Chain A
């Protein structure tokens, strides 16, 4: 099983640092820092008030400890809450973007020049605390689609921001969401007008660069009645010995007949073999199907971070609305992933599907934690949950904590779970067909994750494949 070990120890390829002049706030958190961030971004008054309320609330909260992991306490006074490249352009012109930054994104395979981009993907590139560039903005604007950095939205579309911000994840929601609400720096904002089908994938690429910086981005996506959008999120960070905190909030709002498909490939630095360094990824992601027949679908491939702690959830408020969660989480070395979803059935005939694939290698620990909640009035609600774990080697672990809460006796909730190992027989079978152990493992893992990968948009499926070091199923057969 040597090849399995090798595969489990592949090096992190995005671990370099961009050398660029930065403007940073002094480390530490207080009201002045909150005001400083808000002022830096020329935010309207309501936003500063909201941040301060969140900050004051956060001060009264305790860091949660129910998760399946132990980590040294985070010193919140030792984190830099704002770091931005000097000379960040005013939202639009690529000419003004520092060439070092363009090079950074080129190196990550995300060229920001529109002609070099994958056709059909618009990108918002976020570097530490600010968005450095958003592509295809004008083209999208022709359709009435707003796709820009959160900072720009706060200035240009304050009414939309005020109307929806915090409606899905209130600033009191949880410790890290409150922290985020106080100090969030940037992120993406997206609004799709009624009846519009967004013609390209919208995507944000998050990069943490500066040492000792936390990244607290905030993303808000609103799909108005009858609209459709597919949104992609990717992330990486340099290799550093200290841990970095990433506490993001993503809010999705799908109105009547609208659909949001949100895909993530998360590859924050996972720490080294001994578990030194790496990103703490404490993220709150939630969507609401506000109107009837709305649909929200989360797909995530989680391969990075020292600790991942997130539960992309859907509140199924509209009747006949649909929530989906497809997840692949790979943990190796000493990584821990405590991830899953919450599906909250409020409306009638609401449906949810949960497919979770956990792969553990090395000393990795993988936890599925999910809650299916059917409220009293959710007649005919249906949920199907499938939770599969694969163990590679004998030092890793897989754990499942499903919570089911049914308050309506016409509901149907199904849960299936399985645990598998890559067997010697499977490897031998592949070898007798001329396929090497390493390729065989890739193929078997790929097969294991297939139901999730097929939910990913093409461009992302390629990225996911690269990340897991595996070859994707071809179109044959």
Chain B
């Protein structure tokens, strides 16, 4: 059974469809990159999958672990193993990052009928994961994302992912706003999490992240649809030729 199966998905904000019929199958162990110009619907896809209140599907089906995704609340999706790394991570003043993550992890354990993790066990897990993603321990004590630099915020998203161990991670432009060093650190964190048991959807504008996080498949979105799929070299072609030729191809075919 595929981990995620999207069939003819349509949807967007209010009355406006931004996604116009997407088919995508993601299996465990795979990394899919989704590329495309601004406004092609990449981030909207992530938000619909994660269940943002302002976005809605208007047609098609999505199955996650075989379950109808749209029957699940956003928090149930998370506890089923979905994770969205935000393009603009949100600040929660006064709530320490560590406290927040422990609450999240315990929700997950509760959802699965397992017992909650003690403060001590959590601290050990956190220390281990912080090392994995090269996080300054101070960031765990500070309030969630408050006064974090752009790079720290993105790294924090990967840290959350490392602690929660999702089966499907959707990384929404995790590389945006990062300098090359910060991007390398983030990419290393992502690669650490890759395994045969989980999958990732990496949403990005640029090929450069994919030099470090090498995808199994690359999809190009244009006007709310996947118009081209291929392997790693498709990303390189896009880097060389820009999105203009995709547009031309689509229009020629249309």
- Which chain A residues have a beta carbon within 8 Å of chain B's beta carbons? 420, 423-437, 439, 443-444, 446-451, 471, 473-477
Contact = CB atoms under 8 A, between A and B. Distances in A.
Nearest to A474: B99
B196 to A, nearest CB: 23
A431 B100 CA distance: 12
Given A428-B53, A446-B95, A474 B75 contact: no
A203 B86 CA distance: 47
B92 A447 contact: yes
Nearest to A420: B93
B193 interface: no
B37 interface: no
Contacts of B50: 428, 432
21 contacts: A432-B83, A433-B78, A433-B83, A433-B104, A433-B107, A434-B75, A434-B104, A434-B107, A435-B75, A439-B103, A443-B100, A443-B103, A444-B95, A450-B94, A450-B95, A471-B103, A473-B96, A473-B99, A474-B102, A476-B98, A476-B102
A450 B84 CA distance: 28
A431 B119 CA distance: 22
B84 A432 contact: yes
Interface string B68-81: 00000111011100
Interface in B78-124: 78-79, 82-84, 86, 89-104, 107-108, 111, 119, 122-123
Nearest to A445: B94
Given A432-B74, A434-B78, A424 B99 contact: no
Contact of B90 (A429, A435, A436, A475): A429
Interface string B128-167: 0000000000001101000000000000000010001000
A448 B92 CA distance: 9
A447 B94 contact: yes
B51 A474 contact: no
Contacts of A451: 94
Contacts of B96: 473, 476-477
B107 A435 contact: yes
A147 B123 CA distance: 43
Q: Which of B75, B78, B122, B126 has the most CB of A within 10 A?
A: B75
Contacts of A433: 78, 83, 100-101, 104, 107, 160, 164
B153 to A, nearest CB: 11
Nearest to A425: B90
Given A439-B103, A474-B99, 5 more contacts: A424-B54, A432-B86, A435-B104, A451-B94, A471-B103
A424 B55 CA distance: 12
Nearest to A447: B94
A431 B143 contact: no
A472 to B, nearest CB: 9
A447 B119 contact: no
Q: Which of A434, A435, A444, A471 has the most CB of B within 10 A?
A: A434
Contacts of A447: 92-95, 143
B119 A474 contact: yes
Contacts of B98: 476-477
Interface in B202-231: none
Interface of B: 50-54, 73-75, 77-79, 82-84, 86, 89-104, 107-108, 111, 119, 122-123, 126, 140-141, 143, 160, 164
A432 B90 CA distance: 12
Question: Secondary structure of the B side of the interface?
Answer: helix
B107 A476 contact: no
A446 B92 CA distance: 10
Contacts of B160: 433
Given A432-B50, A434-B108, A435-B104, A448 B90 contact: no
A432 B93 CA distance: 18
Contact of A435 (B52, B82, B83, B103): B103
A427 B73 CA distance: 13
B45 to A, nearest CB: 14
A110 to B, nearest CB: 28
B79 A434 contact: yes
Contact of B123 (A432, A434, A439, A476): A476
A430 B86 CA distance: 11
A477 B99 CA distance: 7
A268 B22 CA distance: 56
A475 B95 contact: no
Given A435-B75, A435-B103, A435-B104, A424 B53 contact: yes
Contacts of B92: 426, 429-430, 443-444, 447
B36 to A, nearest CB: 22
Contacts of A420: 93
Q: Which of A431, A432, A446 has the most CB of B within 10 A?
A: A432
Contact of B119 (A434, A471, A476): A476
A423 B90 CA distance: 10
Contacts of B140: 477
B84 A446 contact: no
Closest 4 interchain pairs by CB?
Answer: A447-B94, A477-B98, A447-B95, A434-B78
A475 B79 CA distance: 24
A63 B89 CA distance: 52
Nearest to A443: B95
A477 B97 contact: yes
Contact of A475 (B75, B86, B119): B119
A450 B160 CA distance: 23
Given A424-B53, A476-B102, A436 B95 contact: no
A427 B123 CA distance: 25
Nearest to A436: B75
Contacts of A444: 92, 95
Contacts of B119: 474-476
A383 to B, nearest CB: 23
Contacts of A437: 75
A141 to B, nearest CB: 39
Nearest to B80: A434
Contacts of A434: 75, 78-79, 104, 107-108, 111, 164
A476 B94 contact: no
